[in-house]
Structure 1
């Protein structure tokens, strides 16, 4: 459990002091209406993906480093991160001329590693997950006396993140709920504390990736737990264990935590990119995913989703978009059993075309030992409008006697 004195030291005055310190350093990111994103509510986006370094993390890390003593600065600083906290710490260290070492998991996107290096930080790649990088950073901190900058379980870091909550309630009237991504809990702790202190009637919902639901499980079991593993492409929230201070604050101030799948996250990234012209990373899209798929328990209310970061690895972007297309019914593949004779492909493609589908790939298989000697499997990959459109095409094919043996959705 968190130290009670640490809990007492978090105050609105501290959040306001962070706001003062950050005023000339960060961007006051816009809250924009997201009328093109399907949602049962009036949806708004807090665009921290457009923040300096592409993530909210610079708020907490910069404020923490601003409060270090000269002796602490002289020791140099060390941090651990999957990428976003790393960039925030490195930027703050560069501006304050402080030597900086960042431990990052070797699975961190190359783009985030290189971006961190560009701010002058020394990078130590650690085999494994964020939690392995954390353990190595703690080891180096103890061995060399570096000043450790925790990514989330620190009252100054939390206060820095809390400035987002302060901005939201001053940027938008009549906010009913704020939906917040959760990894280790620094962002939601600061936002929830600030909002519930100033506007207790506003609901605060947290969202985690289903494959890295450490805070969800901790709150469910009323005890901090450590996951055996994490499995999500949302690397910014791939944390195995929530913080002690952040757990206490989350239990006290957050109304509910829900989870979303990687497919739902991918669909949200695609939707924001296509409809809002905003690029989000996986961690930044979880709040929107929760809204899109009806997981927030309210309707016809003013809901703000925090898009916490935009530092997606471009090397996986095409795969994320493909998964998003499949999840939203915009792309599918049907495998059809056919008698192998001339004209079959023409018949299938004409039906799909007449229904408004667009064939983008064809795979012909006549060698499966389980089918008749004069039969074949035809796999058709096509672009479609939505899931209803897929069903329309399937019904049209079956009406003409074609047998669909498999569908990828």
Structure 2
């Protein structure tokens, strides 16, 4: 173990003692369906069931519980898209500290309202978490409030590392641990706990981080051995939409973590659908990246694997969009456009073919107007439920045999 690391196992163990009054020991559930998919036992660490809906309360409380009386009197300020906000709010309420939270203007309404509900003052500022962070730091400079960073502080990292200690107790034979990563606090803390405990036991346990491919600052940073900020981030996984790694977690991750991989937005959507249908778990996109990595084969575990479901705070409106995207990505919901001659009976024939092959039409749009539609032709756009990609191709082949040319539209 590198003794120069900013966070040690003893730090994590001290944090574990401190957070017990506020953070619950979340359950671990085995997913046999996912296990069959990857050929190993798979266990889900359910931080989506944690207080305030994510692991963030661990690091927030670990940090704030060590503030001096003078610092507590000045209050705290933080910035977050939602999970850290709620974690700080819950911790502040438990410690009797005033909290001000800066959130991006586009933060999910349920997360904003939940943060207010825990007693914090919420200020909406900036378009991204990084812009909200700058506003929070200005507030700290102007008022003297203590800035509680979401991931770039040793005590925060130590608090998040308590997830790793619980995983080792609940899945003692684990050989691979997978965590989502944004700024890196969770992954770094878990890596410290897992790797040093494994060293004490004379074992080797792999720790893998997963990022959304459109918000992946760690792969280029690790390749350059320096913090490389992203010019642009765009992902449904707002909980890990961070454009620049934290210095503290980066120092740990580059030394201890075995790999950091990425997954696509479609893979995230498929993982969320899987978790809803097969495990009955409501998980936000950031919490599903580890499952997405397993489902896509990006991570091939050896031995029992534990995946951290880091949070469950998802806006119902986003969930609707994600479900539709997930069904589209898995071939179970298709939008198809068909050009045909404008004569009676054509649409009836299409409907018959689809019905005969056990697909279900949910919407039909019929138009004769458009730059690509010639006189005497009509465009039919159909939303259709199928059983998957093979079933969709079966329906399409039947349409082609009848002279129709279905064209799949983007989801």
Band the TM-score falls in, shorter-chain normalisation: over 0.9
Distance of 2:103 and 2:275 partners within structure 1: 28
1:354-369 superposed matches below 5 A:
354-369=356-371
Go from structure 1 to structure 2 and tell me whether the alpha carbon gap of 1:408 and 1:102 turns closer, same or farther (over 3 Å shift): closer
Matches within 5 A, 1:130-141: 130-141=129-140
Q: In 1, Cα distance between the equivalents of 2:215 and 2:5?
A: 29
Distance in 2, Cα, partners of 1:28 & 1:353: 50
Moved more, 373-382 or 128-137: 373-382
Output the CA distance in 2 between the equivalents of 1:321 and 1:189.
Answer: 31
Match of 1:292 among 284, 292, 295: 295
* Contact 2:334–2:384 (CA under 8 A) maintained in structure 1: yes
Answer yes or no: is the 8 Å Cα contact 1:208–1:216 preserved in 2. Answer: no
Correspondence 1:340 to 2:342: yes
Secondary structure at the residue paired with 1:32?
A: strand
Aligned residues: 404
Cα deviation for residue 241 of structure 1 reads 0.8
Are the aligned partners of 1:49 and 1:56 in contact in 2 as well (CA < 8 Å)? yes
Per-residue displacement from partner, 1:87-136 (whole Å, max 9, x unpaired)?
11111111111111111111111111111111111112112211111111
For 1:265 and 1:99, the matched residues in 2 are separated by: 36
Please name the residue that 1:327 is paired with: 329
Q: Which residue of 1 aligns with 2:405?
A: 403
- Which whole-Å CA distance do the structure 2 matches of 1:104 and 1:372 have between them? 50
Deviation at 1:360, TM superposition (A): 0.7
CA deviation vs aligned residue, 1:134-160 (integer Å, no higher than 9, x gap): 111111212221111111011111111
| Unpaired segments ≥5 residues, structure 2 | none
Q: Is the Cα–Cα contact under 8 Å of residues 86 and 114 in structure 2 kept in the other structure?
A: yes
Residues 1:64 and 2:67 aligned together = no
Distance 1:91 1:191 in 2: 22
8 Å contact 1:105–1:127 — kept in the other structure?
A: yes
Look up the match of 2:127: 128
- CA 1:369/1:314 → structure 2, altered by over 3 Å: closer, same or farther? closer
1:369–1:188 Cα change, 3 Å: closer
- Deviation at 1:366? 2.1
Equivalent residue for 2:286, pick from 272, 283, 286: 283
Equivalent pair of 2:22/2:91 in contact (CA under 8 Å): no
Superposed displacement of residue 9, structure 1: 5.2
| Secondary structure of residue in 2 paired with 1:115 | helix
Q: Match of 1:185?
A: 184
Match of 1:228 in 2: 231
TM-score, normalising length from structure 1? Answer: 0.94
